[in-house]
Each structure stands twice: as C-alpha cells, then as structure tokens.
Amino acid sequence: MKTVILAEKPSQARAYVEALESSKKHPGYYVINDPILPANTVITFGLGHLVKLAPPEKYDAKYKKWSLDNLPIFPEHYQFVVPADKKTQFKIVQDQLKQAETIIVATDSDREGENIAWSIMNQAKIDIKSKTIKRLWINSLEKDAIRAGFKALKDGWAYYPAFKEAQTRQISDWLIGMNGSPLYSLLLNQAGVNGVYSIGRVQTPTLYMVYQRDNAIENFKPEPYLELQAEVSANQQKFDAKLDPYQRFKDESGLMTFMQAKHVHKGSQDGLIKDVQKQAKKSASPRLFSLSALQTMINRRYHASAADVLKAVQALYEAKYLSYPRTDSQYITDQEFTYLRQNLARYQKLVSKEIALPQIEPQSRYVNGKKVQEHHAIIMTKTVPSQEQLAKLSKLEQQVYDLVLRATLAMFADPYEYEETTVIAQVGNANFKATGKVPTKQGWKILFDNQKTDEQEPNTLPPVQKGEQVQINLQTLQKKTTPPTPFTEGTLITAMKTAGRSLDDEASVAILKDVEGIGTEATRANILEVLKNRGYLTTQKNQLHVTPQGITLCKAVEQQPLLITPKLTAKWEKALKQIKENKRTQDNFLKQIKAFILKMINEVPTQFTENKMIQSQVEKQKEIQRQAKAADEIGQCPMCHVGKIVDKGKFYGCTNYQADPPCKFTLPKKWSGKTIGKTAVKQLITQGETTTIKGFKSKKTSKSFSAKLKLTDGKLIFNFEK
C-alpha cells in the first residue's frame, strides 16, 4: 500500500519535505516518514509541465512545413508528449505512480496545477480509476499550513472538472495558434512580408488594445477651450475657485455671451461668500492585493514589468514570506485575519514608523469568506523575516514585500480622517466653487508617508464666513484637450482584467465581469512577455507601444472581430466555466472552436486580396523590412561573391546559405574573449584584414594582447605584424 505525493516542481517538493518529520532523498523523489501520512509514502515531482501537446508534425510529417493546403489542422485524437530534457524525471514519476494505491495531487492549487497533475497521470498510462485520488489544497508553503493541509486532504476527483476546463483551454488555444499563425504568416509572406506572425486567443486582443490606444494618441487633435476661473481674496489670503456647475467654452464669443448673461466681467469685482459647508470625512485603507492589483501598483511605483513582479511574488511565496501569488481575490477569511492579528507586533517591527493598529475586529471590506473561492488575497504568512533576511532579498522582492506588508497592516489602522470645506463664492449671477481638505487624523496613511503617491497635497482654504464680502478677480484660462495616456504594463494588466466594460453586448459584459476580463491572474504577465519577445510590443520609459510588426499584425486581423475583441474571450470563458460545472462537454466546445477556425480560413485570404488597408500596411512593412535589411548588410561575401554578410544574432553569415550549393561562410562575434564589431567585420570582408584591435585574451595565460585579424582562405587568424 503505497502513497505517492505529486508536487509540481522540485522547490515545492522540498517545502513539503521540510514540513514533515523525516525523509530520505533518492533521484527524483523522497521517501517520507511522518505520522500524519500513511506508511510507505513518497514525494515525487514534475518540472512544471512534464507533459505538453504534441506539435503538428507528430500527427503527420507534412505539417512540419507550413502550407495553406494543409489547413485546417484538426487531430482526431490529441497527442501529448514528454520533452526530451524531462524524460528522465517523467520515468521516475511514472514508476512511482504505477506502484501507488493512493495519489495525493499536491501541485499548485489552481486550474493549471490540476492540468499538470492529471496530464502526468494520463501520460503515465496508469489505471486512474483504480487509484484513490486525494487533493492537497493550501495557500502557503509554511510548515503549519502544509501539515494542516495533509491532515485535511480533499477528494481529488472533485477537482477533475477543473482539469477538463484547463485542458480544453489548452487544446483550444493550440487549435487557434496552430491554424491561425500559419494562416496569417503565409498570407503575409505571399504578399512579400517576411517573418512569423503569431495568433492567440488572449495575446491578439491584448495587442489590439495597445494598437487602438496608440492610434487614438496619434490621431488625437487637441482642441482649444477656455475656462473661467475666480481668484478670491479674503482676509488677506487668496484661493482659486472654478465655475459651478463647471463649464468650458469653445471660443471667446461663447465666453462673453455667458458673462453678459451672468452680469460679470473680467478682472476684479465685488463678490460674496454664498455658502460655506464643512464636513468630517473618512477614507478607508486600500483593499488587499490580488496579483493583478499588485502588479499594477508595483509598476506604477517602481516601473517593474508584470512578469518580474510575478517572479518576485513567487520567490517570496517559496521563501514562505507571502501567501499564494496567483490569486484574483482581494479578500481573506476570518482564519487569516486571526493569525495576522496575533502577529501584528512582529510585523510592525518591519516598518520604520510606529502606528496604532486598533482595528482588531474583521471588517467586511477586507474579510469576507464568501468572496474567497480558490485563494485569498496576497498577505504575509506567519513566517516573519528578520531585517537581515529582508536585506538578502532582491530589491524588487523587498519592494513587493514592503508594499504587501503596509497594505495588510493598514487594514488594522484607523481610517484617514479629514475635514472637507466647500466654499461657494458668488459674483453677479455666477457661482464659483472651491474645495479644501484639512487632515485631522492621518490613520493608515502614516504607513505610506515615505512612499510615492499619486495623490496631490490637499488644498487648504482660508477661514471665510457665509455672507462675507470678498474681492473676486475673474480670469480666463486658455487650455487644450489632452490625448489619452499610453498604456503601461500596470494599466494594461488592469485593462485586461476589466476589458468587458468596453463591450456593448450586455451578456458579454456580465460574463467578463464574472471571470475578471481576458486572461487569468496566472497568465496575463506571460502574455505581455510573449508580445514583447515576439517584437509586437516595445517598452519606452515604462510606456507600451505597438511596433511596426505589431501594427501589421493588427491590420491583418482586424477584419476578424472575434480575434481582436474581448467578446471572443467572453464566449469562450462562459463555455469553459460550463465544462467545469459539468454543463458542457469538451467535444461540444471544441466543435465550436473548429467552426470558428474554418470560417477564418475561408474568409481571411479574400480579405487580404480585397482590403486596401491591409494592402497599404503590407507595403509599409515591406519598406521597413527592406530598409532594415539594407542596414544589416555589412558587405559582399568574400567567398561566394553573391550573398551579403549580415548579423545573424550569434554570428555573422552569408545570405546565400540556401543556394545550391550553399555558401557556408561565417564569422564569429567573439574571438579570444573580444567582441568583433561590424566595423572590424567590414574591414575583414573588404580588405582582408583589420586594424590593430586591443583586448584579446590569451587562453593559456589570460593576459590581454593586441593584434590584427586576417582572413586567409575563409579562415580567421591573428596577424601580429605591425
């Protein structure tokens, strides 16, 4: 009777081992001894995804080379493979699973974790139905949380529908990518545009959001307008007030007509304090962090990418300092609130200023078990790092932990309190309003007083009384409308999460509101990295912009609305949710995906030949690529005298490498520890020799030396002659 605990990766397995009484390490697994677990228990682990969907050429060799004639690619049965570099560990896991009577799924507690575990079990070809399947479901890798989890294992089969949902998403994304990417790439290639153009269910509408924002900024035409502002002088002090109700004017004529109707004029004139209202107000601390909210805030404060933030939170989770990172919840349960309250004094030592934390009863703004489904908000664990341990973290990890710490402590602090004063000043028949805030109790804001903030300092108004006579100077301000602001990674993450709000279809809005927009907490950061790595997005001073290649892709796909709008995701997510709820089958959903792909394959070629906007963008991209190619060409190949020498990334090579016979001439980018620049390469291929170059290093002595480089029969050699 053997029990096998299946972890997602080695670090997770080690965390489990450290929480248990004793263990013995073997290649790829641990033998465990602990009274909370049955005798003969082992922990083994994946390396993340040990199993992945097979590429198209595994079904038929003809798919290895892209061809429009081979589309669509619809496998009758989907094949899964183990990557070559993971086969050794998979064999170890497979052997352990075959021997097991009970399997405890202990991968990450989310849909993707289910997909990883069940995919491994399926690929291992074990009789799953003959096994007892249990599920470890925890929010922290701390010892206490792990042990409590193993003592309260859940029924593993209860999570099987979550696996089917995740697998269906995986297959449907594969179908879209393996059909859409060849379709658009080949059509663009036929039109003369080089490169591979990737299509994705989430990445394409995300890219299009940035494209639309860039377009709105580029096409924005500022419009001038006028504002009427009052400078109020009272008790030897001055303050500004705006027209109430607020109004702007297109031109001087409209402003003068308004002023005549209100019996006012520009310049100084007598006025009256018509009303003074004072109101005590309170402001609660910010909500706790979901992953996307944390990514947005860290990007705003420190300009870190969403992927780097996720990496930092994951590291803090594995260090046992923060709770599970891939959460979409901003709430905790009473259980978490209790342990946070018990450890307040220890947490407080990590912030520089002392602050009262009297709010020791749960508040529904933060504590609501009904709104915690899979995982609670990101908070500190019971493991409180010392200042020395914090200092060993990376700078970003320190920033992330500090922000989560302060946001969580703020839940226990008093509200920020202030007195808001509203003054209405009257001149003629026109009213002008000014609002001022005077802090009366800093409350939770003390925790953030040393940090960057988007809030402006509150205005204070001089003491005035209702009915008081004042002097009012009316001034005209000339202003212009401003364009939308470019996306940052933080604001784009937010836009992905709330994408449904821009939809006209009420049903789609409701769906996306329920599933938190497009993408998931776990995937949004990766989507942005994919778009950047594929050259579709670029970051400039923390602002995201679409590249010319990205623009070409957007122009190509915008004739297929379901590829560029959140509506596609809304329909997909509704269906996927139904799979998880056992209201829809995987086959039923995939039939709909295939129907969409067939429609796309039938329509897109015609759109390419008939749509002038696509044709225009194709010509622009061809010219961009022509100029880039010309810039990359260093000179004529000295061997074949036909091709050009270009930068090929890791080396310099001839463009005639596909000829018959091929030209195989290459030059290294590094030679004896020295990087060879384009200037030196140009000297080599045009003159056969470079000028003297400093900075070479001897392999034997590691000493630096200077020499010329020379080409002899296509071979690179040193020339020490002066």
- The active-site residue, picked from 30, 159, 324, 366, is 324
DSSP 439: E
Residue with tokens 């959903």: 589
Distance CA 382, CA 567 (A): 42
Summarize the chain as % helix, strand, coil (round to 5): 45, 20, 35
Contact 282, 415 (CB under 8 A): yes
Amino acid at 376: H
Candidates 123, 124, 134; CA nearest to 101 is: 134
Q: Which residues, at least 6 apart from 105, have a Cβ–Cβ distance to it below 8 Å? A: 6, 113, 114, 117, 118, 133, 134, 135, 136, 156, 159
Q: What is the chain's length?
A: 722
Burial class (CB within 10 angstroms; exposed 0-12, middle 13-18, buried 19+) of 620: middle
Cα–Cα dist 232/592, whole Å = 66
Place of tokens 């959140």: 566
Peptide bond into 35 cis (omega under 30): no
Q: Which of 519, 517, 593 is nearest to 562 (CA)?
A: 593
Specify whether 324 is catalytic.
Answer: yes
CB within 8 Å of 345: residues ≥ 6 apart: none
Dihedral sign for Cα atoms in the order 388, 394, 397, 403: positive
Residues 6 or more apart whose CB falls under 8 angstroms from that of 199 comprise: 176, 177, 180, 181, 183, 184, 557, 563
Decide: 180 and 202 in contact? Cβ < 8 Å: no
| Residue 409 near residue 418 (C-beta atoms within 8 A) | no
Backbone angles phi, psi at 459, to 5 degrees: -75, 145
Catalytic residues: 324
